[in-house]
Amino acid sequence: MSSQLKVMPETIVSYGVPIEMSKRKEIAVEYWQNFLAWFNTAYPQMQRTNTINAYRSFLAAHNINFAHGEGKRYGLSTTLERLGEYKDIMLTPDQIDKINKRLENGNDWESWSFMNIDLHTGARAFAMASMSRDRIAFSPLFRVEQFESKIKRGEWYLTREGKWWVKYPTEECKAVVETAYDRLPKDRKFLFFKDAKSDKANCLQAGYKVQKDIFSA
């Protein structure tokens, strides 16, 4: 890969020689498309995201920029390649029913609540594990607030930056949450673990919950 990068045409950088901006961008795009053809052949399984970010940063340093959405036209989109990769993977109603019966028979109401609330809210793992009782309201409208730490919007919760999402799930989800309230310990601040009395410790608790209930399943 390094040998390919060494052939970067000097006309992109220009070294003080005036070149029309549109021409410099044209050269940059042509070089990238040639490089990408080689890259896809040499490394067919490797993601391109980091390489795209590095190349765009290099171009930006030399005042070659792309408008929002323009990079996609040239294969220079910085959208994560794996975004939505598993969007079509889902459990069938029969599979969900079998899992629920197994959890109910084993009196594992914590896992039952975690799974069924998540099926309705579509939250990521940390957002589910860190759910707080005071962020759930049953009236006048049923509302659930979940903190997504992968979406950076300047809000903070349990030492993580992210964004609070306010959701208004279905009445079916309301029944699930009511069951969780009834079955899980009522003296806990968080739905799925005891309050460890500090944001850092509670963040670790939420992470442990994710590891225990999801990745060890």
Helix (H) or strand (E) holding 78: none
Spatial separation of the C-alpha atoms in residues 54 and 101, rounded to whole Å: 50
Q: Which of 186, 189, 57 is nearest to 134 (CA)?
A: 189
The three-class DSSP label of residue 105 is: helix
Phi, psi of 139 (to 5 degrees): -145, 155
Q: Is the dihedral of CA 37, 42, 45, 51 positive or negative?
A: negative
Q: Is the dihedral of CA 171, 176, 177, 182 positive or negative?
A: positive
Q: Is the pLDDT confidence value at 217 over 70?
A: no
More confident call, 77 vs 192? 192
CA 23 to the chain's CA centroid: 37
Domain boundaries, the chain: 2-74, 93-215
More confident call, 136 vs 37? 136
How many alpha carbons fall within 13 Å on the CB side of residue 208? 10
Q: At what angle do helices 109-121 and 93-105 cross, to 10 degrees?
A: 150
Q: Is the pLDDT confidence value at 32 over 60?
A: yes
**Whole-number pLDDT of residue 13:** 52
> What percent of the chain is predicted at pLDDT more than 90?
37
More confident call, 81 vs 147? 147
Spatial separation of the C-alpha atoms in residues 48 and 75, rounded to whole Å: 10
> Quick one: average pLDDT of 175-190?
91
What is the band of 59 on the pLDDT scale with cuts at 50, 70, 90? confident
Spatial separation of the C-alpha atoms in residues 120 and 170, rounded to whole Å: 8
What is the band of 188 on the pLDDT scale with cuts at 50, 70, 90? very high
**Whole-number pLDDT of residue 146:** 96
For the whole model, what pTM was predicted? Answer: 0.59
The sheet carrying 155-157 orders its strands as 136-137, 143-148, 160-167, 155-157
Q: Is the pLDDT confidence value at 112 over 60?
A: yes
Q: Judge residue 106's burial from the number of C-beta atoms within 10 Å of its C-beta, 0-12 exposed, 13-18 middle, 19 or more buried.
A: exposed
**Whole-number pLDDT of residue 79:** 64
| 8 Å CB contact between 190 and 130 | yes
Spatial separation of the C-alpha atoms in residues 132 and 126, rounded to whole Å: 12
- The 3 state secondary structure assigned to 135-194 is HEECCCCCEEEEEECCCCCCEEECCEEEEEEEECCCHHHHHHHHHHHHHCCCCCCECCCC
